[in-house]
Amino acid sequence: MDPVLSYRGRAVSEADVSFIRELCAAHPTASRRRLSQLLCEAWDWRQPNGALRDMVCRGLMLALARAAHIELPERRQVPRNPFLDRARPALIDIDATPIECSLPEIGPLELRQVRRTDEEKLCASLLETHHYRGYVQPVGEHLKYLCYARERPIACFTWSSAARHLGPRDRHLGWSLEARRQNIRLLAYNSRYLIMPWVRVPHLASHLLGRMTRALSADWERVYGHPVYYAETFVDLHLYRGTCYRAANWIVLGMTTGRGKDAPTWMPNRPRKQVLGLGLRRDYRERLSRLS
What's the CATH architecture for 89-289? 3-Layer(aba) Sandwich (3.40)
Q: Please determine, for residue 269, whether its predicted confidence score (pLDDT) is greater than 80.
A: no
DSSP string, 93-111: ------EE--TGGG--EEE
Tally of CB atoms within 10 A around 43:
15
pLDDT for res 274: 97
pLDDT for res 4: 83
Beta bridge partners of 252: 276
pLDDT for res 138: 86
pLDDT for res 49: 76
How far is the C-alpha of 246 from the C-alpha of 251, rounded, in Å?
A: 6
pLDDT for res 11: 85
pTM beyond 0.75: no
pLDDT for res 261: 57
Residues near 18 by beta carbon (within 8 Å), at least 6 away in sequence: none
Closest C-alpha to 243, from 180, 179, 195, 279: 195
Beta bridge partners of 161: 188
pLDDT for res 36: 93
pLDDT-derived band at 10 (thresholds 50, 70, 90) equals: confident
pLDDT for res 82: 58
Q: Please determine, for residue 180, whether its predicted confidence score (pLDDT) is greater than 70.
A: yes
Mean pLDDT of 167-190: 96
Residue span(s) of the chain under CATH 3.40.630.30 come to 89-289
How far is the C-alpha of 2 from the C-alpha of 255, rounded, in Å?
A: 33
pLDDT for res 244: 97
pLDDT for res 171: 97
How far is the C-alpha of 128 from the C-alpha of 124, rounded, in Å?
A: 6
pLDDT for res 6: 82
The half-sphere exposure of 34 on its side-chain side, counting CA atoms within 13 A, is 12
How far is the C-alpha of 88 from the C-alpha of 85, rounded, in Å?
A: 9
Least confident of 93-102, 215-224, 256-265: 256-265
Stronger pLDDT, 82 or 193, i.e. the higher one = 193
How far is the C-alpha of 86 from the C-alpha of 107, rounded, in Å?
A: 37
Q: Are 216 and 193 in contact (CB under 8 A)?
A: no
List, for residues 49-86, the tens digit of each pLDDT value: 788 988 889 999 999 999 899 999 988 776 665 555 66
How far is the C-alpha of 193 from the C-alpha of 236, rounded, in Å?
A: 13
Q: State the chain's mean pLDDT as an integer.
A: 91
Q: Measured between alpha carbons, how far is residue 177 from residues 169, 171, 275 in Å?
A: 13, 11, 20
Q: Are 187 and 229 in contact (CB under 8 A)?
A: yes
Mean pLDDT of 22-34: 92
Q: Are 174 and 285 in contact (CB under 8 A)?
A: yes
% of the chain with per-residue pLDDT over 70: 93
pLDDT for res 260: 62
pLDDT for res 86: 67
Helices and strands per DSSP (H, E), number in the chain: 10, 11
The half-sphere exposure of 64 on its side-chain side, counting CA atoms within 13 A, is 29
Q: Please determine, for residue 265, whether its predicted confidence score (pLDDT) is greater than 60.
A: no
List, for residues 112-157, the tens digit of each pLDDT value: 999 999 999 999 999 999 999 999 988 889 999 999 999 999 999 9
Q: Please determine, for residue 262, whether its predicted confidence score (pLDDT) is greater than 60.
A: no
